[in-house]
Amino acid sequence: MVINLKEGVPLPKLRPIIKLTREEQAALNAYVQELLNKGWIEKVHPHEPCPVAAPVFFVGKKDGGARAVTDYRDINDTIVLGPYPIPIMSILSEKLEKGKFFFTLDMRSGYNNLRIREGDE
């Protein structure tokens, strides 16, 4: 998969960091460590500017904890969309109505499983 950027559209830069509660900081640390362990993100040298950034916010969980969610909307605005969009779930479920075998789809981290061109990581 190739990620083509729109010409003349600047990449989103890192925004000011907001103060986090202990619960949010713990959730963020766990989320970042999970992605580091899977190899989906890499550490950046503290003195090197990050070429692009996406903000993270938190959603409450039923158990009272917090789940970190990455907001990719600004990054998505800089990308040229591909010709094959992800199907709408209602249409997909109609097509699968008579299916015999099914699988699970991890929507939280499924997009990280797409192979992309080297250098676009």
| 5 phi and psi angles, rounded to 5 deg | -95, 145
Neighbours of 80 (CB within 10 A): 11
Q: What is the pLDDT of residue 66?
A: 78
Predicted model pTM: 0.52
Higher pLDDT, 26 or 119: 26
- Are 35 and 69 contacting, i.e. CB atoms less than 8 angstroms apart? no
Tell me the one-letter amino acid at 45.
Answer: H
Instruction: Note the pLDDT tens digit of each residue in 78-114.
Output: 888 776 666 677 777 777 777 777 666 556 665 566 6
Residue range 21-70, pLDDT digits in tens:
888 888 888 888 988 898 888 887 777 767 777 888 888 888 877 777 88
